[in-house]
Amino acid sequence: MKFYYMKTKIFILSYLAITLVKAQKNPIQLIPQPVELKQSEGWYELTNKTTISYNLAEASFLAGLLTQKLNTPTGFNLKPVLGTAGSIQLQLNDVANPQIGQEGYVLEVTKKGVVITANKTAGLYYGIQTLLQLLPKEIESKKEETINWTIPCINIIDYPRFGWRGIMLDVSRHFFTKEEVKTYIEQISRLKYNTLHWHLTDDNGWRIEIKSLPRLTEIGAWRVERAGTFGNRTKPIPGEAATVGGFYTQEDIREIVKFAQERHVTIIPEIDIPGHSMAAIAAYPELCCTKDTSVKVDPGTNFAEWYEDGTFKMLIDNTLNPSDEKIYEFIDKVFTEVAQLFPSAYIHVGGDECYHGYWANDANCQALLKKLNTTDVKELQNYFTGRVEKIIQSKGKKLIGWEEILGGSTSSESVIMSWHGMQGGIDAAKKGYSSVMTPAPYVYLDFNQGESTVDPPIYAGLRVSKSYLFEPVPDSVDAKYILGGQGNLWTEQVPTMRYAQYMTYPRAWALSEVFWTPKVIKNWPDFAQRMETHFDRADVANINYSRAVYDAIVTTSLIDGKLMLQLGAEMADIDIFYSINGTMPDSYSNRYISPVELPEGPIVLRVITYRNGKPIGHLITLDREKLVERAR
């Protein structure tokens, strides 16, 4: 009896220990954080006896997707079946649950299995993504792993805060292949983004086949080869072969659109006009006022001058001529084909950074101004926008454009994308227009993520903690005018998909929570801790991301002629060590506690971060000149 009691006790203790280990192995670390989450004791373990069912044929594709995702790393041979008997059930409601809307889901994990219910397949897709995040990180592996596939018992009710949760991908500045774009779409969809804004045309390449205008891709998709930083490159030499670039055939586009639809991502195509059109002009010089036949697709030269007051000058004519009726025929042809390829309700027409200087000097533009009864050349862009809006509407689509379109649109069905900051959206709401908020200081994914001397340089910085703080609805605006928000990945300095991932993550994780999760639940320290577990998941998934969040934040100030140094960190539990004596810093160097007065002389500051006694961030090296410059 005593022996039996002892054995039972040992059994219970070891059971508890295993439970604890398993519970710790599988903590709940979801991004974006769901609306409601209640964990209960225990877990369900996925085995080769698990069955997967779906109650309606509509859900069969998603059941297949889930099964495939589970089979690869587990090595199981699960097969989804129509019905309601699976240990993992995908269930479309026959009576809609009003709480979760079109994209929400309810996920219930008990010791017996998993049930995901939703009103629409979009909700099932998002429930599946949450389920995958509840599994150990090895679920992201492309090879078989031998671990226990436990899923903690939990009840989740979840639905998005905003209907527009977007990422913009610029494929003009650098071209990404069809397969790369599909992978990128899949990755963002798994974070519950539902929109890919696809920036398909710009000065550096026209990327979409337009069958009625073949030169757009025969000529416009290709530029001369140049090394070095975009913006500092030399001009094409007359007669030089243009060999760098690429484009998507209409077949490719249909394939990508279908792939995206299957993952509940709407693709919004952008044709950026009337500015940013050098690639189109290289193909058809008659499109611009100067009709300059020497214009080539730009390989990354510095052809613009930017002035302190926010104005600018384009040194090469990259602007369509708004006074020429033939331009509107051209635009009609382009949008006829674009509208047929993309099922989205909206087509993006750009409108940003349009230089009006060539218009001001053009006799036909002057005549049009006279007809419009104005001398203000900006009115030509408004006229142009109004004409384009009608063309877009004639294709059964709605217009969306960067905030510069606001003065020209006449239909409050059109949508404004606020990008300099929040003001574009605020102004739009005052006029009764809806907006998507993409303010550069919070969502531009091309900006540096941390120390600007560590990452390749770009003109501005944006840390993930700042992206996380983004609030898309300004206090002064009725929330009904804000459709949602979007992170924008401009790719001037992003030549590869691997680097596109690096620039996208972890900021797109932060933004996914901004766009999905209720504002009251958002919490940076909590997110930061979850983000670190997603670094581990991304490692298994082989997704690149920036670890800039571990680097020191170095700021300086000049106080009464003294150069003061402040060091900080975005993450908790980081120790910062520095040297100014020409040595490599380590955990025996000066530990930063409070602002330090730096001595005179040609010092070099070196800073390194540690966590738990191990180096974790990049080494930052700044000489006196840079430290003084930073104080200004």
Residues that bind ligand ACM (CB under 6 A): 352-353, 402, 419
CA 265/CA 113 separation, integer angstroms? 28
Minimum CB–partner distance for residue 339 and ligand ACM (Å): 22
Minimum CB–partner distance for residue 118 and ligand ACM (Å): 35
CB 219 within 8 A of CB 285: no
Minimum CB–partner distance for residue 150 and ligand ACM (Å): 45
The closest of 466, 487, 517, 467 to 417, measured between CA atoms, is 487
Q: Which two tokens stand for residue 573?
A: 């539990």
List the end-to-end C-alpha distance of the chain, in Å, as a whole number. Answer: 80
In this complex, which beta carbon is closest to ligand ACM, that of residue 173 or of residue 233? Answer: 173
What order of strands is seen across the sheet that includes strand 596-597? Answer: 552-559, 562-569, 596-597
Q: How many CB atoms lie within 10 A of CB 146?
A: 8
Residue labelled with tokens 């899949």: 186
CA 205/CA 223 separation, integer angstroms? 7
In this complex, which beta carbon is closest to ligand ACM, that of residue 225 or of residue 353? Answer: 353
Minimum CB–partner distance for residue 480 and ligand ACM (Å): 24
The closest of 169, 164, 174 to 203, measured between CA atoms, is 174
In this complex, which beta carbon is closest to ligand ACM, that of residue 263 or of residue 276? Answer: 276
CA 436/CA 1 separation, integer angstroms? 71
In this complex, which beta carbon is closest to ligand ACM, that of residue 199 or of residue 207? Answer: 199
In this complex, which beta carbon is closest to ligand ACM, that of residue 91 or of residue 488? Answer: 488
Minimum CB–partner distance for residue 224 and ligand ACM (Å): 24
Question: Please, which residues bridge with residue 554 across strands?
Answer: 567
In this complex, which beta carbon is closest to ligand ACM, that of residue 419 or of residue 468? Answer: 419
DSSP per residue, 294-342: T-----S---EEE-TTS-EEESS---B-TT-HHHHHHHHHHHHHHHHH-
CA 247/CA 268 separation, integer angstroms? 17
CB 330 within 8 A of CB 286: no
Residue, CB closest to ligand ACM: 352
Residue type, 143: K
Minimum CB–partner distance for residue 574 and ligand ACM (Å): 33
In this complex, which beta carbon is closest to ligand ACM, that of residue 403 or of residue 513? Answer: 403
Minimum CB–partner distance for residue 460 and ligand ACM (Å): 11
> What are the angstrom distances between the C-alpha of 485 and each of 167, 349, 380, 442, 468?
9, 18, 29, 10, 12
Residue labelled with tokens 């079109």: 102
The residues that are catalytic are 202, 276, 353
